[in-house]
Structure 1
Amino acid sequence: MAAAAPGVVIVTGASRGIGAAVALRAARAGYAVVVNYASDASGAAATVEQITAGGGTAAAVQADVSDPAAVGRLFDAAAALGTLTAVVNNAGITGDLIGPLAEVPPATVRRVLDVNVAGLAYVCQEAVRRLSTGHGGGGGSIINISSTATKAGSPGTWVHYAASKGAVDVLTVGLAAEVAAQGIRVNGVAPGSTKTGLHAAAGMPDRVERLSPTIPMGRAAEPDEVAAAVLWLLSDEAGYITGAVLPVSGGR
């Protein structure tokens, strides 16, 4: 007897990098995937095309997670694909700037916090409203993408970004306890240095290579390695895990 399909997963910020890798791996696991994006429509379309070419189901949905109304529309669109069972909060920005905190423009600090903290909270709120057995849902799982930048605080580069990810960790632990009796597991994945376009966008395309010697495993992660951790936490094998933040960092 074939296993039942796992349902629908929303992956925010899934037009590229870790988000796209999560979307592709989720599709291979049988999920119908909502590929969310804020502005990269072509990247989101490419992710959807890869999924559908492999026989999966996916739809690209534009929504800026820092806008609560847009988040509501994102979840409404997901309902068209079936029953929502999982949400991966991947959308996040650094502000495309590297430097000491004193030199970061206030508008950049605000935008990073709006997307990485407030936006993640808005998505979590809507996910609970849709998944919670207390709200008539069938339960499910939320994964919040954090960062190992929270360990040292990213001095001289992204203190504002690291601080936002510290907030993500606290929200993950608190929400997990809050909704555990409502059929929802909430966990985090904290990638270390990963081969994505994030560093190039901030003006340092060689940053991953320069950091690799400081990583015990001697290299940065591939996006799919981070995605593998996300899908494991979504799976039944992690059914008794909630409130955890799993580092995927090569030991750094």
Structure 2
Amino acid sequence: MSRQQVSVVTGGSRGIGAAVCVRLAADGHDIALGYRSDADAAEAVAVRVRAAGRRCVAVRVDTADEAAVDLLFDTAASELGPVTALVNNAGISGPVGPLADADAEGLRRALDVNVLGYLLCARRAVRDMTPTGGGAIVNLSSAAATLGSPGEYVHYAAAKAAVDTLTVGLSKEAAPAGIRVNAVAPGIIRTGFHADPERPDKAAAGIPLGRPGTPEEIANAVAWLLSADASYTTGTVLRVAGGR
């Protein structure tokens, strides 16, 4: 008998994270939804998960805080059962503009959330999944990791390059425990992430497919990597960027 899928999704209250929660619920996953501050938005996503017939618990978490990460996973295990998947999605852009103009505190916080947060969540996921027969991790990277994002957020691009390296290295380390580790690298997606709400449409001319992507298109890729259809896929960074 296959195990019930219990997925921890960080940054699950909006944008790509919210779309991932809804898609995984449709695929039969129970969801532990981690969110940073907007409890109402988190509960709205939880309502959609439950409407799909799945269980959902929403937990406030700062993923750069080790104790908060442990609380998220402990709550998932106690209320839903053994965790079988992690979607490392919580992230922030940090300062927007040339690196020369960025403040150190903003840079530090961005690296804490986008790199340390991923490491802490992945570490806990491996600890939990190893004795229970394995599982899967999907890290949300970005096309910025290879494009560099000059003039916008070079530090964010650097953090996402670190996520790619984490994905490759951990996939090899965790494979003997039956844990697959992959990443999805979105391009420009129509979400509230952008400081300029019109940025996705302004950038459309530079995207080979001629349009920004949707959160649901990223969620589809995440769902595939967590599914049995991707059982021989690990250490992969799947670019979903409209050709960019």
Same fold (TM over 0.5): yes
Deviations 1:213-251 (A, max 9, x none): 111100011100000000000011100010000000010
Within-5 A mapping of 1:106-185: 106-132=104-130, 136-185=131-180
Distance (whole Å) between structure 2 residues aligned to residue 55 and residue 85 of structure 1? 18
- Cα distance in 1 between the residues matched to 2:210 and 2:143: 16
Q: Is the 8 A contact 2:63 2:118 kept in 1?
A: yes
| 1:29 matched residue in structure 2 | 27
Q: 3-state SS of the aligned residue for 1:188?
A: strand
Q: In structure 2, what is the Cα distance between the partners aligned to 1:186 and 1:53? A: 29
From 205, 212, 221, give the equivalent of 1:229: 221
Task: Tell me the SS of whatever aligns to 2:204.
Answer: helix
In structure 2, what is the equivalent of residue 102 of structure 1? 100
* Equivalent residues of 1:9, 1:33 under 8 A apart: yes
Return structure 1 stretches of 4+ with deviation > 6 angstroms.
none
Counterpart CA distance in 2 for 1:5 and 1:190 is: 28
Contact persistence 1:5–1:30 (CA under 8 A):
no
- Paired position in structure 1 for 2:238: 246
Q: Secondary structure at the match of 1:60?
A: strand
RMSD over aligned Cα atoms: 1.0
Rounded to whole Å, the distance in 2 between the matches of 1:4 and 1:172 is 26
Matched, 1:78 2:70: no
Task: Give the match for residue 43 of structure 1.
Answer: 41
In 2, Cα distance between the equivalents of 1:104 and 1:68? 26
What's the secondary structure of 1:84's corresponding residue? coil
Give distance in 2, aligned partners of 1:100 and 1:23. Answer: 34
Q: Deviation at 1:55?
A: 2.0
Letter in 1 for 2:93: T
Give 1:74's aligned amino acid. L
Q: Is residue 32–residue 58 contact of structure 2 (8 Å, CA) maintained in 1?
A: yes
CA-CA distance at 1:54 after TM superposition = 2.7
Decide whether the 8 Å contact of 1:5 with 1:31 is kept in 2.
no
C-alpha separation in 2, matches of 1:20 and 1:181 = 31
SS of alignment partner, residue 92 of structure 1: coil
Residue 164 of structure 1, CA deviation: 0.4
**Alignment gaps of 5+ in structure 1:** none
C-alpha distance in 2 between matches for 1:143 and 1:165: 13
CA distance in 2, matches of 1:149, 1:100: 15
TM-score using structure 1 length: 0.94
- With structure 2 as the length reference, what TM-score do the two structures score? 0.97
Q: Secondary structure at the match of 1:93?
A: coil
Q: CA deviation at 1:53?
A: 2.2
- 8 Å Cα contact 1:8-1:31 kept in structure 2: yes
User: In 2, distance between residues paired with 1:159 and 1:192?
Assistant: 15
Listed as ranges, the gaps of 5+ residues in structure 2 are none
1:89 aligns with 2:88: yes
Instruction: Compute the displacement of 1:37 (Å).
Output: 0.3
- Inter-partner Cα distance in structure 1 for 2:6 and 2:126: 15
Structure 2 residue aligned with 1:209: 201
Q: Which segment is superposed worse, 168-177 or 52-61?
A: 52-61
Query: SS of 2:184's equivalent?
Result: strand
Corresponding pairs, count: 243
